[in-house]
Amino acid sequence: MRKGISVSPGVAVGTAYCIHEIFVDPDTKRLEDNEVTAELASYETARDKAAAELRALHHKVAAQVGAPEAAIFAAHESILRDAAFTNKVRTWVVNDRLTAKAALHRLLDEYTILFTKTNDEYIKERVNDVRDVVIRLSTHLSDVAKPEATSVLSGPVIVVADELLPSQVVTLGGLEVRGIVTQAGSQTSHAAIIARSRGIPAISGMRGILSHVKTGDTIVVDARGGHVLVNPDAEQRSAYLKLEREFFLLKDQLAANRDQPARTQDGIDLELVANINGAIDARAAVAMGASGVGLFRTEYLYLTHPDVPDEEEQYIAYKEVIDASPNRTITIRTLDIGGDKTVPYLGHTHQEANPFMGWRSIRLSFEHPEFFATQLRAVLRAAAHAEHVGSRVRLMFPMITALEEIRKVKSMVNKAAQQLRQEQKAFGSDVKLGMMLEVPAAAISIKDMLPEVDFVSIGSNDLVQYLMAADRDNPKVSHLCQPLAPPVLKVLSHVIKACQKSGKSLTLCGEMAGQPRAFVLLFAMGLRSFSMSPAFIPSMKDLAAHLTLESARQVLRKAMTLRTTAGVNRYMAEQLARIAPNLRMLDVD
């Protein structure tokens, strides 16, 4: 039994599928004499494909973003064509009978050791460029070599990885994923967001788990308390299978309320909307009873795209989400790249000392105005389609820190609209503009911000980590990065009151919107719009039906007197068990 951080509730039992850092299933076999020539040919084919891909990326990024940003791909092609790089791979294939993938793995290990010995930070960071080239080559080798493990595993699978990135999720399409366990990450990591959007039990921060689990092991994910059990005995397995059935039964029962309004016991209507990454999530949100899209994370379009999505590709992606959410409001957030989400063509070639507080989100968009304008134009065009089919689009900007930034983005939106008008292209006539409140400075000065925006969305994931000065993806400080910390509750209460007084629409779209303990307190503070992973909507709708405003306010009054995070958590666990005992299995400790 091992313990980590529960990031998506529930219980799951399945076969472990281990995704290692680069190679899903590292080759350990030795080649036969008659296989060497074919393996060298496979490597050359993969190298040619990778080189062509890098050249295409260089041209496209140079045209759409700029030559300096495209230079990274020319550098990667230079590494790919480097004689020493290629000769090492060929030598190990011929002399040691390694597969090309195994040779690349050995090469990366060798370069990593070599580069880390230097005191030059720039040279140290070059190992990441080599890593990118190796990953690209490995991907193409997989196209011409043996099938991956996804083709031989069947039945319920528990994915075990260091971290689960958006690009890796694509490779899981053929698997019946029942649970996710990651060594890195936290409640707001990619793996956590992916798991919650699909209603999959998940645990992060499980350091060293890949050293103790191998593909094919039986593994239990008990995300109620953050426990993972490897190769349970027959009695343990039977007990957890029973809990798993109860979890699925509860989910089925809650899903039956999809057509019911989100309303409290005393008749107060709430808005439960969804956080999504694309059209598939939007359809899932509608199926779960969401009344709209509170947060469309457009960066996933960039992170999973092979290069740079152009205006037409973005327009089509936004249009697909609108069509998947008929007669609803869709809030589209502009590109939120940086921190833990990076793309090389926007200059993310050097590691920042403090990436979450550095060059990211709206700050990055300001530095690439033409690139940003492409997204604004695509959203405005999609808004025209939304109006035509009876839906509405709102445009939201991430990481707004100062009043000047709001005024600047409004000017850029107006400029994009003017361009479309001159080109006689249809665009939305009444697109509401809003800010994502994530930075403490913006929370403190919210009264000054409100006259400049149509709506506000609280991004609690970042707001919590900035308030507590605790990196949300660092398990060493995860005890500080807690949404129920008293300082966080005080700031949220301040923002909610300010928005109520001004009459401006307010939604909370961080992960705490789908956490039962936080939901009760936010409702009592006056919040009426919650945006969450689609899978959480039925349970929050059920929780709302157990609440009255007076009972929730009584709970809030007591919670606000408590001076420690642990105290608030204990108290809210007790209150939730009293208010809605049927939701205990969905309460993450």
Task: Give the residue numbers marked as catalytic.
Answer: 190, 509
Is residue 508 left, alpha or beta, with left meaning phi > 0 and alpha meaning psi from -120 to 50?
beta
- C-beta neighbour count of 299 within 10 angstroms: 20
Give residues with Cβ within 8 angstroms of 317, minimum separation 6. 278, 279, 298, 301, 309
Query: Is the CB of residue 460 less than 8 Å from the CB of residue 466?
Result: no
Tokens 């039945």 belong to residue: 155
Strand pairing of 156-161 and 505-508? unpaired
Give the chain's end-to-end CA distance (angstroms, integer). Answer: 17
User: Between the CA of residue 466 and those of 5, 463, 487, 573, what are the distances in Å?
Assistant: 20, 5, 11, 25
User: Between the CA of residue 337 and those of 60, 347, 536, what are the distances in Å?
Assistant: 19, 11, 25
Burial of 561 (0-12, 13-18, 19+ CB in 10 A): exposed
Distant-in-sequence contacts of 443-452, Cβ < 8 A, 24+ apart: 443/491, 443/494, 443/495, 445/403, 446/494, 446/495, 446/498, 446/499, 447/498, 447/502, 448/403, 449/400, 449/403, 449/406, 450/498, 450/499, 450/502, 450/504, 451/502, 452/403, 452/406, 452/407, 452/410
Query: Is the CB of residue 397 less than 8 Å from the CB of residue 334?
Result: yes
Query: Which two structure tokens, joined as six digits, stand for 295?
Result: 């947060």
Sign of CA dihedral 420, 421, 426, 428: positive
User: Between the CA of residue 373 and those of 330, 409, 492, what are the distances in Å?
Assistant: 20, 10, 32
Query: Which two structure tokens, joined as six digits, stand for 400?
Result: 């707004």
Coil, helix or strand at residue 569: helix
Angle, in degrees to the nearest 10, between helices 516-525 and 486-502: 40
User: Between the CA of residue 455 and those of 213, 397, 422, 446, 505, what are the distances in Å?
Assistant: 47, 11, 29, 12, 5
Task: Please name every residue paired with 508 in a beta bridge, in sequence order, or none if there are none.
Answer: 458, 530
Give residues with Cβ within 8 angstroms of 147, minimum separation 6. none
